[in-house]
Structure formats: C-alpha cells, structure tokens
Chain A
C-alpha cells in the first residue's frame, strides 16, 4: 500500500536551535516528493520539491534531503525562529495512478 509516514508527530524546540523532521514512504513508482509548511488555520505553502535524481535542496533555512534508495526524506531547519512554528507536511507523488499521497505532518513548536 502506498503510504507516507512522518516522524515525530510533534516536536518542541527552543528558538535558535536546529531540528530535523523525517518522512518515510512506501510509494512506488516514485515521481517526486514535496515538503509543505502549514501555519495553524491556513493553507499549506510549498517549501521544496525533489525528484528522483535530487539528493538535497535548500530554501533559505530549510534543507530537504532525499534518499530514493531507502525511500526516506528529511527536512532540516536551521537556527529556528518563532515563525517556524507550524505543521510540516511531506507529500509524495507516485503510485500506479501517479497521485499525491499526503503524510499527516509533524507539528513543530518553537519556544522563546
């Protein structure tokens, strides 16, 4: 079954610290993987999109990695800010029908 699992479910860190969010998927075949940031009560906003051949992609303080062999991705946030508090959603496009399969997200809280 095509699934996307994210860990941890929630995370609390202090402002200025780094953190890494994980995404494991069983989707096959694989087309691409996206990370979205969703502020509470708002729509998701795209952070990165990665294809099979891309290992790393950065967007400011956000760096996503992809290991297509182990079907794992991570999102690393550097020097966290209070505004990073949000849910981070991993989305994989693939499967027999090449659809978008959404993870349930990691809820990040950055505290002062």
Chain B
C-alpha cells in the first residue's frame, strides 16, 4: 500500500458526460501528479500540482482540468467524454516539487466510457 488513495476505483459513464476523479496524497506529500494509461500504451503525464499550485502540464486535453485543494487532495475533472478517454487514471504523490523525489502511485481509477 503506497499510502495514496484514489476514488472511485471504477467508473462507467456515457459519452458526453463529465466525471470527477479524486486523489488523496500520502501524508506529508505536497505534490500530486496525474497520469493516464490507455490500453497498450505507456503512462502519459497529464498535470502536476505542488501545494495547491499548478507546476507543469503534459498531454492534458482542454476538456480535462484539475485542481489541488488546501488539504492537498486533488481532483481531475474530465468533461465531454469520448470513447477514447477510457483508460486507467493514476495519481502519484511526492514530498517535493521536483522530479528528484520518488513518486508513489495510487491504485488508479478505471474509467470506461460507453
């Protein structure tokens, strides 16, 4: 158990809908990273927050947005969902704000768009 929690574990929704994925980092960690892992594809970095502020953006679509709250939990919002958005979404946390620090991954949320 990495100490990172993600909810829900599974999510099934229809195209065009909007969903929110939630991540709670390990105690003491200030950074949260979001990743997407599609079938047969590697992990794709989406976005990084440190202590409530956006630090870096990766291949994140405009339909997706995220935020980190004062209690350090983070939410990833996916809107106007398409079939291609079906994937595993992972968050990872680390203590520092750079990639020098080890990232600890949560168990993921499996999103299925029908």
Contacts and interface: CB of A to CB of B under 8 A. Distances in A.
Same complex for A and B? Answer yes
Contacts of B17: none
Interface residues of B, number: 21
Given A41-B108, A43-B107, A100 B92 contact: no
Nearest to A91: B43
Given A89-B43, A100-B45, A104-B41, A45 B99 contact: no
Interface residues of A, number: 18
Most buried by A among B41, B42, B88: B42
Contacts of A61: none
Nearest to B58: A99
Given A98-B99, A100-B99, A43 B106 contact: yes
B65 interface: no
Given A103-B42, A104-B42, A46 B108 contact: no
Nearest to B91: A43
B42 A44 contact: no
A89 B42 contact: yes
Contacts of A31: 99
B4 A43 contact: yes
B110 interface: yes
A98 B106 CA distance: 23
Contact of A43 (B40, B44, B105): B105
Interface of A: 4, 31, 41-46, 49, 89, 93, 98-100, 102-105
Which 5 A-B residue pairings sit nearest by Cβ, starting from the closest?
Answer: A43-B105, A102-B42, A104-B42, A102-B43, A44-B105
